């Protein structure tokens, strides 16, 4: 079983729409959580960290539900420039081993005019 | 500031050949990582280094080796390439291997093994 599971999509939405992505993680010992963004044929870049209380950065809102082991990303007022693949990422510490990132396969978003 | 550079950008390699992918960062980050990204599988960790002089195995280390002689460089070597190593390889670095540290990625190397 993969550490991180995501709906691969694709999600195709018009400009201005609100879209939500979900992600589940398998290990309750996971300790930190992130959303990364990856444009086509480019490197992943950090979009935002996901804190237990939830956090917002402009049009982006991230939520964490530790009880359900579930992470979400909400994008409001979608822009054409939001078209990308969104990667759900968890940092898992296993015993004495330092934390390692585990990446979901990504959810593809296309915003159309 | 360049951040992380990787070389080559792309490479076509005959099976059985030896290949070293280069990675250099100028951010003085302690931790560095190598990932491979395959369609439908996402990013998987190959090897990592928490600080110069130390390395460790990730999720898919077989067929790969790394060294970390200094802070800036973290080369990945394929001793005898096989077609299943065809992939996009990303090098990354972070200030440390801490819980909330951001990993910064290089532009990637597209490797095809025939």
SS (H, E, C) A81-107: HHCEEEEEEEEEEECCEEEEEEECCCE
HSE-CB of B6 using CA atoms within 13 angstroms = 26
Band (A19; pLDDT cuts 50, 70, 90): very high
Buried b (16+ CB within 10 A) or exposed e, A64-81: beeeebebbbebeebeee
Distances, alpha carbon A80 to alpha carbons A36, A106, A109, A111, B72, in Å: 18, 18, 10, 5, 37
Nearest C-alpha in B relative to A85: B42
Chain B nearest-CA residue for A43: B107
CA distance B5 to B24: 5
What are the chain A neighbours of B44 within 8 Å (beta carbons)?
A: 103
Distance in angstroms (rounded) separating the CA atoms of residues A86 and A83:
9
Chain B residues in contact with A100 by the CB 8 A cut-off are 45, 48, 58, 97
> What share of residues in chain A are helix, strand, coil (percent, to 5)?
5, 60, 35
Q: Average pLDDT of B25-48?
A: 93
Do A47 and A71 contact (CB within 8 A), yes or no?
Answer: no
* Interface touch A101/B44, C-beta < 8 Å: no
Contact A100 B50 (CB under 8 A): no
Give the integer Cα–Cα distance in Å for A75 and A42.
Answer: 21
A44: chain B residues, CB-CB within 8 Å? 43, 90, 105
Would you call B99 and A103 a contact, using CB atoms and an 8 Å cutoff?
A: no
pLDDT class for B42, splitting at 50, 70, 90? Answer: confident
pLDDT of residue B23: 98
Give me the residue from A43, A45, A99 closest to B99, CB to CB: A99
- Radius of gyration, alpha carbons of chain A: 14
Q: Chain-centre distance of CA B111, in angstroms?
A: 12
What distance in Å separates residue B95's CA from the closest CA in chain A?
Answer: 13
Select from A43, A87, A91 the Cβ nearest to the Cβ of B99.
Answer: A91
Q: What is the DSSP letter of B50?
A: S
Asked whether the predicted pLDDT for residue A30 surpasses 80, the reply is no
Contact B99 A32 (CB under 8 A): yes
Long-range contacts of A63-66 (CB under 8 A, 24+ apart): A64/A33, A66/A28
Q: What is the pLDDT of residues A55-108, one digit of tens each?
A: 999 999 999 999 999 999 999 999 999 999 999 999 876 654 566 889 999 999
């Amino acid at each position: 079983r993969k550490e991180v599971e995501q709906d691969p999509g694709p999600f195709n939405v018009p400009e201005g729409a609100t879209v939500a992505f979900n992600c589940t993680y398998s290990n309750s010992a996971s300790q930190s959580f992130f959303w990364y963004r990856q444009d086509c044929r480019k490197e992943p870049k950090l979009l935002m960290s996901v804190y237990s209380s939830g956090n917002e950065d402009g049009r982006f809102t991230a939520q964490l539900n530790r009880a359900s082991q579930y992470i979400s990303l909400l994008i409001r007022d979608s822009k054409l420039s939001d078209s990308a693949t969104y990667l759900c990422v968890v940092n898992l510490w296993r015993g004495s081993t330092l934390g390692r990132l585990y990446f979901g396969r990504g959810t593809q978003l296309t915003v159309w005019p | 500031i360049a951040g992380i550079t990787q070389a080559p950008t792309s490479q076509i390699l005959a099976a059985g050949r030896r290949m070293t992918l280069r990675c250099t960062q100028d951010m003085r980050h302690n931790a560095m990582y190598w990932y491979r990204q395959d369609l439908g599988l996402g990013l998987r960790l190959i090897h990592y280094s928490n600080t110069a002089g130390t390395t460790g195995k990730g999720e898919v280390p077989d067929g790969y080796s790394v060294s970390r002689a200094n802070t800036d460089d973290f080369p990945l070597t394929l001793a005898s390439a096989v077609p299943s190593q065809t992939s996009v390889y990303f090098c990354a670095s972070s200030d440390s291997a801490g819980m909330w540290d951001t990993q910064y990625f290089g532009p990637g190397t597209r490797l095809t093994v025939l």
